[in-house]
Structure formats: C-alpha cells, structure tokens
Amino acid sequence: MMFRSRKMAKALLMTGALAISSVATAQVDQAVLDRGKEVSALCVACHMESGAGSSIPGVEYRPRLTGLDAGYIQHQVESYKNGTRVNVSMKPFADLLTEQQLHDVAHYYASLPAVKAEDFKVEASEETLALGEKLVYHGDWNRYIPACVACHGVDAYGIGNTFPNINGQNPAYVKKAINDWKEDSRTNDPLHLMSRVAKRLTEADIDAVAAYLASQPAAKEEKK
C-alpha cells in the first residue's frame, strides 16, 4: 500500500517537473493569429466563434478551447491524428490540418479570452459540489486520489502545455474525458497519470468533480 502511494507521489513530482519545464504560449506574430483565425472557420460550427464550445445533449459535448495553452491544443489534435485520442467527429478535421495550420489555429484560440459556453448549466446539490471541491483541492489519499490542483496548478487554471485549465468547462465533456481515461480509450496523458487516477474515481466522484469545475469561472482573473 505504501509502495503504491510512493509511486503515485513520484509520478506527481515527475509530471510537475514536466509542467514547470514547459513554456507557456509565447507572444506570437499577428500574422500567425490572422492565419489561425482563418483556419478556425473549420472549428466554429462545433466550438463556436467564441471558442467556448457547445453541446448536443446525449450525443456530443464540444469543449471550451479558449483559456488553453497552444501547445496543449496542438497535442490534442495530434492525438486525434495518431489515435491516442478517439472522436469520430474530430478525426477528419484533425487529418485536414497541416502542421502549420494546426500551429496557427492553436495559437489563435490560446490568444482568446477564456469564456464559458452559454448552453450548459450546472445542476448539482450542495453536497455534490462540496465533494467536488474536496477532490479538486485535497483529493482522497485514502484511495490514492491526488488533488486536481497537484497537477493542474493553483485553483486548477492549468500549467503550461501539459496540464490544461479545467475550470468553466462543460461538465458532460469533463465526465466523458475522465471516463475515456478510465476505460483506456484515451491514452495521451503524460505518464498515464490521468488513467491511473480515473480508475480510482467512482461515478459519484466524477459527477462531483465535473460539476464543481463547471461552476467555476473559466478565466482566473474572474475568480473571487
């Protein structure tokens, strides 16, 4: 038991080092952003012009792209290309993009202000939100579940291109993402840390974390 706890702690330290060593989206030339905006025409039908995402309830949940690091966005699209992340809607669009187009559109979305989608509401009890807050900030080491903030940074607003801002995200999308890691249908996380954590979460845990994160502002400066 202690050995497993030490392994998890070591993994957290290693992933933290990855995050610290990664460089946040640098200042980019306006030409890159202009080209990226042109490429975003492929994205707006699902992710909206604002980049806030959208939903087809019970069918598909499109995430917020704004407020994410450009390198993180690039990695996700590359994952759709190479099959380490699977989505039948995203795959053809990912395959359409050249390396330059992906670079440009990722930096374009990273340059936009983080905003929540308008078509979802958080419907959760105070008890559920309290559990979500506990797991986000403290985890549950009795079950070897680290806090979300251990990797995703202060208040879970992300660190570099490895750990994204997970606040103000569509709760149904967050639940699907965690379940994809739990079921090993998504394998593009560093050191497979998310996969190991997801397997220790109950359905109630996942619902609570998704609801709490969705209830938070998408942009750090909006948090009181």
**Numbered residues of the known binding site for heme c:** 43, 46-47, 90, 148, 151-152, 194
* C-alpha separations of 94 from 33, 64, 65, 68, 78 in Å: 19, 17, 15, 17, 7
Coil, helix or strand for 187? coil
CA distance 108 to 127: 38
Which segments of the chain does DSSP mark as H helices, in order?
Answer: 2-21, 30-39, 44-47, 70-82, 90-96, 99-111, 126-137, 149-152, 171-182, 193-198, 203-214
CA distance 73 to 68: 7
Task: State the residue for tokens 């220790």.
Answer: 200
According to DSSP, the residues that pair with 85 across neighbouring strands are 186
From the annotation, which residues make up the binding site? 43, 46-47, 90, 148, 151-152, 194
- The separation between CA 4 and the C-alpha centre of its own chain, rounded to angstroms, equals 26
Sorted by sequence, the CB contacts under 8 Å of residue 220 that are 6+ apart come out as 155, 157, 165, 167
